Amino acid sequence: MTGILWVGQDSVHLRLLEASGAARVERAASVEDACARRADALAGGETKRAWAGVAVDAAHYSAAMQAAELRDGLASAVGFADTLAFAGPLPGAYAFCARVGGIVAAFREATGSLCRSADGAVVGSGPEAWAGLAALTQLRVRRLVAHTEPFDAATPAVAHRLGIELATADAAAFAGASVVYSARELAAIVNDEERGLIVNETVALHTAAAQIRLLTSKEPDLEAMRDAMRSATPAL
């Protein structure tokens, strides 16, 4: 079974990766430790134990980005990475941002094509807000506004790299938006037809699934992952 390394806390995200049925998940102390362990395995000729890549939590986004020799265009645009992929026996790592795909998949699961041509807003700042901007762009939201709190000078730069014009507004102005993604609460509210609320655990589910597909080229067991999510978050 393909091996991947996890760098982060003992969390729902880790449980989801472990439940995928497509990868052997081992923990590493840091991104630097993960890369060093792989380098040592390669140097020792242990190519089968050299792991396919690394998945990280939010505390290690910056370290993952810095450790990569190459970066996917989306990771470069949003300015952070949550996944490092290794190229077989070759040295170096390629950075990806699976979080964006996780948000997109969570929206689509809850709403189908609802987001197309809708008005959308992102509340908050930092990497989660940047991923939210990219996700709503992929969902073809027609007009995007942002309320960055605390102030985040990087958000307009991320919007520019994504090729979108981003207006800013007070949070109260978002009441009329069809879709609001809150980076502070890690939740998405879909107002149109009151179709529901997308919470962080659902985004984590689809983010982990995207990481598994990326690193193993296999389809994860989503039902087993959902069971793991429910067990870890009994309130859901």
> Does residue 98 register a pLDDT over 80?
yes
Task: Compute the mean pLDDT over every residue in the chain, rounded to the nearest whole number.
Answer: 86
Please indicate, yes or no, whether residues 86 and 164 belong to a single structural domain of this protein: no
pLDDT value of residue 234: 56
Core vs surface per residue 12-21: b (16+ CB within 10 A) or e: bbbbbbbbbe
Number of structural domains the chain divides into: 2
Please indicate, yes or no, whether residues 187 and 216 belong to a single structural domain of this protein: no
Kindly state the DSSP code that residue 128 receives in the 8-state scheme. H
Please indicate, yes or no, whether residues 182 and 212 belong to a single structural domain of this protein: no
Stretch 68-91: mean pLDDT, rounded?
92
Cα first-last separation, the chain: 31
Please indicate, yes or no, whether residues 105 and 46 belong to a single structural domain of this protein: no
> Does residue 75 register a pLDDT over 90?
yes
pLDDT value of residue 80: 97
For residue 220, the domain's CATH number is 3.40.50.10860
Please indicate, yes or no, whether residues 92 and 209 belong to a single structural domain of this protein: yes
pLDDT value of residue 27: 97
> Does residue 205 register a pLDDT over 60?
yes
| Sole residue written with tokens 């393909």 | 2
Please indicate, yes or no, whether residues 160 and 212 belong to a single structural domain of this protein: no
Please indicate, yes or no, whether residues 132 and 155 belong to a single structural domain of this protein: yes
Name the most confidently modeled range: 15-29, 79-93, 114-128, 158-172: 15-29
pLDDT value of residue 190: 60
* Tokens of residue 227, six digits: 């069971």
pLDDT value of residue 212: 98
| Confidence bin at 194 (pLDDT 50/70/90) | very low
pLDDT value of residue 174: 65
Please indicate, yes or no, whether residues 173 and 126 belong to a single structural domain of this protein: yes
pLDDT value of residue 215: 96
> Does residue 117 register a pLDDT over 80?
no
Please indicate, yes or no, whether residues 105 and 51 belong to a single structural domain of this protein: no
Please indicate, yes or no, whether residues 181 and 109 belong to a single structural domain of this protein: yes
pLDDT value of residue 236: 44
Domain carrying residue 7:
3-98+201-232
Angle (nearest 5°) at CA 197 between 167 and 101: 65
Kindly state the DSSP code that residue 91 receives in the 8-state scheme. S
Phi, psi for residue 118 in degrees, rounded to 5:
-95, 170
| Confidence bin at 53 (pLDDT 50/70/90) | very high
Please indicate, yes or no, whether residues 7 and 75 belong to a single structural domain of this protein: yes
> Does residue 91 register a pLDDT over 80?
no
Please indicate, yes or no, whether residues 124 and 192 belong to a single structural domain of this protein: yes
Q: Which has more pLDDT, 33 or 112? A: 33
